[in-house]
A and B are shown apart, each in its own frame.
Chain A
Amino acid sequence: MAKVTIDGIEIEVPDGTSILQAARMIGPTVAPPAMCFYTNLPSSGGYCRTCMVEVTKGSEKDPRPMPKLVASCRTQVMDGMVVGNRTSEKAVDARKGVVEFLLLNHPLDCPICDQAGECHLQDLSYENGSAKTRTDFERRTFDKIDIGDKIQLHMNRCILCYRCVKVADQLTPERVHGVMNRGDHSEISTYITKAVDNEFSGNMIDVCPVGALTDKTFRFKSRVWFTKPVTAHRDCDKCCGKVVLWYKGEDVLRVTGRKDQWGEVEEFICNTCRFDKKRTSDWVVEGPTNLSRHSVISANHYEKLVVPNELTLNDIKPLNP
């Protein structure tokens, strides 16, 4: 076990835990945002740099501070480590920079984006970004492409988190899409026009933190905050069959995997469950979904909205008292 102090709050965690996971154990108030790390995708993380924190004491054994900010998702805790997230001016400043970089070429087309309301980039920008842009350059654009008949890739919105590539590597035998080109010309693509066609491809939509990969069967049907999430399951011979049904009135508009409070899918689902089972009679309904994420949808009037027993900013202690 290792004792680690994050924003003045101490917690004991198993050896090998990342700083990010340790912070999540404390709670959302001190957990750094993560745009590319995904618990169920083991090689993910390290790219987006939003979760960077300052380590002011390396460990009990070697108390020297780390010279640079570290990606908390890919840095393991050490016994006696002291970490600053919200309390570190450096980390907060760097994060503000990262948000600006991520938005530099982002179209900011939230009003017409299906992801709006459950978009991690919206949350990130709201919490850490500036109200004003400092760029007047034309934004980078790509053509929209359909990868398969159910998924649309809107590359302009992509932040290159690599999650969809990793999910394909993990769940499917033959990955056909990947990251092409390099630098700021990098794009998710199949290179030749080719459908991503396998039973688990829909999970790309769920792991995408932004509106780059969206469900074509849900396209423009409704803003997410006007739909009502209901937890349901069915016996499926391909996947766990555990899903969330998003209702508008009597109609199931879309089916997604169940996400935890960090917005991560707990168990991946197959395309049959996601795209082909849109009648209530296909499912055993368990009840309204608990929503605890800090996003627009959770601000709506849902039954059973969990107000987490969270720390408040008053619980945080300054980094260098």
Chain B
Amino acid sequence: MGKKLLLQNDNVPGIDTYEVYRQHGGYTSVEKAFKMTSDEVVEEVKKSGLRGRGGAGFPTGMKWSFLAKPEGVPRYLVCNADESEPGTFKDRYLMQRHPHLLIEGMIAASYALGANTAYIYIRGEYFYIVNILEKAIEEAYTAGWLGDNIQGSGYSLNMYVHPGAGAYICGEETALLESLEGKRGNPRIKPPFPAVKGLYACPTVVNNVETIAAVVPILNMGGDEYAKIGIGKSTGTKLISASGHIKKPGVYEIELGLPVEEFIYSEEYCGGILNDKKLKAVVPGGSSVPILPAELSLKTPTGEPRLMSYESLSEGGFVSGSMLGSGGFIVMDETTSIVRNLHTFNRFYHHESCGQCSPCREGTGWMEKITHKILDGHGTLADIDLLWDIQRKIEGNTICPLGDAAAWPVAAAIRHFREEFEEYVSNPSSIVDVKHYYNIHNLVEA
């Protein structure tokens, strides 16, 4: 069994209530933090080597230390619970089952940052979790962990839940802040970064749910101890959302460095491919990261076992590697059409583009139309090259990373599965049931 730091009490009945949570050691990290200065807490997180669990993998301690601290200006901690990356559902799991873990982490983090107000920005579709969090926050207020002068420490913190309303882009931190200010979720042009001008133009740290939750074990065990878990610069544990063609989909906490092969095939995790089919491909870190064909999912280009870590998954760059991303691990068996899967991604990014900047606004829709055309049996070889060229002209040229996120899946699908695209265009009759597929999706014919 791998080490569990976030989900070690996953099977404890009632762990979502304050009483049970407290009995199982809950809120001790806050007690510990209050005995330290805020800078010492930041230092502990730096030592832990914790990296952002939302997808970018930026060192959390460093992000915290960038926070500007001008006199007389409030600072904010905002928890990014907008989890919307296709293939990712671990934050939902964590908040639903362990709401107090998030709240505890937020108190410790807010204390470290000197923030007296903290918001949890949660995607609107998770409204039932808003209920859960509201209840847990109420309990925390009642027990004296929130409000004025928490546990006699002299430190005060108010915490609020803020629902979004359906927009993937609000997972981008500046779009999230715009949305939290009651505006359209349009990403801001950076600089300035949120650490200097964030919520209400005040210094703000935005952290993912899992990142904030990880602060709890880090403070409990000490940053140095935490850094010993995992492998190299990928320290600690990570929640992986496993879905697709596997026997046991779900959220698994793994120690970073676990071999991909073990994760897919062992009974402890995914339990192997559904119906014992063969593995065709894996999207290891949420829809935005490059898809890997079976052999490159299990082995790096140099033939070493591929590990679940930031470094190992990106080994080989985008030519033969991918990214750990948000840990949204989508498995596809041998029967899967990569082109159709790509089409669902293209449709997704087209639907979610905010429309501010032209390459993403126009390019995402164009790519969707082309994969649609190919699936419809009207594609040409030139369309495949055109797709390639469009993604190339979007990547790196947009205001926010959504452009890259839309471009990478296209590039990787063509890079690794070009012959499948060619089969679709040169032999349209090989596409089964295509017309029907489009009828039910109610798409406008190209």
Contacts and interface: CB of A to CB of B under 8 A. Distances in A.
B358 A74 contact: no
Nearest to B392: A97
Given A160-B361, A183-B351, A100 B393 contact: yes
Nearest to A140: B365
Contacts of A116: none
Interface in A32-67: 45-49, 52
Residue of B184, B361, B363, B369 with most chain A CB atoms under a 10 A cut-off? B361
B353 A46 contact: no
Interface residues of B, number: 30
Interface string B386-399: 10000011101111
A182 B167 contact: yes
Interface string B354-385: 11111101111110010000000000000000
B357 A183 contact: no
B261 interface: no
B350 A46 contact: no
B397 A97 contact: yes
A47 B307 CA distance: 39
Given A46-B357, A179-B184, A101 B363 contact: yes
Contact of B354 (A93, A98, A101, A182): A182
Interface string B329-364: 000000000000000000000111111111101111
B405 to A, nearest CB: 14
B412 to A, nearest CB: 19
B369 A47 contact: no
A107 to B, nearest CB: 14
B189 interface: yes
A31 interface: no
Contacts of B366: 101, 104, 135, 137
A46 B187 CA distance: 11
A99 to B, nearest CB: 9
A67 to B, nearest CB: 8
Contacts of B398: 49
Given A94-B393, A183-B365, A49 B355 contact: no
A69 interface: yes
A137 B386 CA distance: 13
Nearest to A178: B184
Residue of B352, B358, B365 with most chain A CB atoms under a 10 A cut-off? B358
A158 to B, nearest CB: 11
A48 B398 CA distance: 9
A179 B398 CA distance: 19
Contacts of A138: 444, 446
A101 B362 contact: yes
Contacts of A179: 184, 355
B396 A104 contact: no
Contacts of A104: 362, 366
A185 interface: yes
A97 B359 contact: yes
B393 A184 contact: no
Contacts of A101: 358-359, 361-363, 366, 393
Contacts of B446: 137-138
B393 A186 contact: no
A48 B357 contact: yes
A104 B370 CA distance: 13
A53 B399 CA distance: 14
A159 B362 CA distance: 10
Interface in A93-148: 93-94, 97-98, 100-102, 104-105, 134-135, 137-138
Contact of B358 (A68, A93, A159, A181): A159
Contacts of A52: 397
Given A68-B396, A100-B393, A182 B357 contact: no
Interface string A170-199: 000000000101111110000000000000
Nearest to B403: A49
Nearest to B396: A68
Nearest to B399: A46
A103 to B, nearest CB: 9
Interface string B192-216: 0000000000000000000000000
A147 to B, nearest CB: 20
Contacts of A97: 359, 392-394, 397
Contacts of A78: none
Interface string B273-302: 000000000000000000000000000000
B189 A46 contact: yes
Interface in B139-189: 167, 184, 189
21 contacts: A46-B357, A48-B357, A48-B358, A49-B398, A52-B397, A69-B396, A71-B189, A74-B189, A97-B359, A101-B361, A101-B363, A102-B362, A104-B366, A105-B362, A160-B361, A179-B355, A181-B355, A182-B184, A183-B353, A183-B354, A184-B350
Given A101-B362, A184-B364, 17 more contacts: A48-B358, A52-B397, A68-B397, A69-B396, A74-B189, A97-B393, A98-B393, A101-B359, A101-B363, A159-B358, A160-B358, A182-B184, A183-B353, A183-B355, A183-B361, A184-B350, A184-B365
Q: Across chains A and B, which 7 residue pairs bring their CB atoms closest together, nearest first?
A: A97-B393, A186-B355, A101-B362, A46-B189, A183-B353, A183-B355, A184-B365
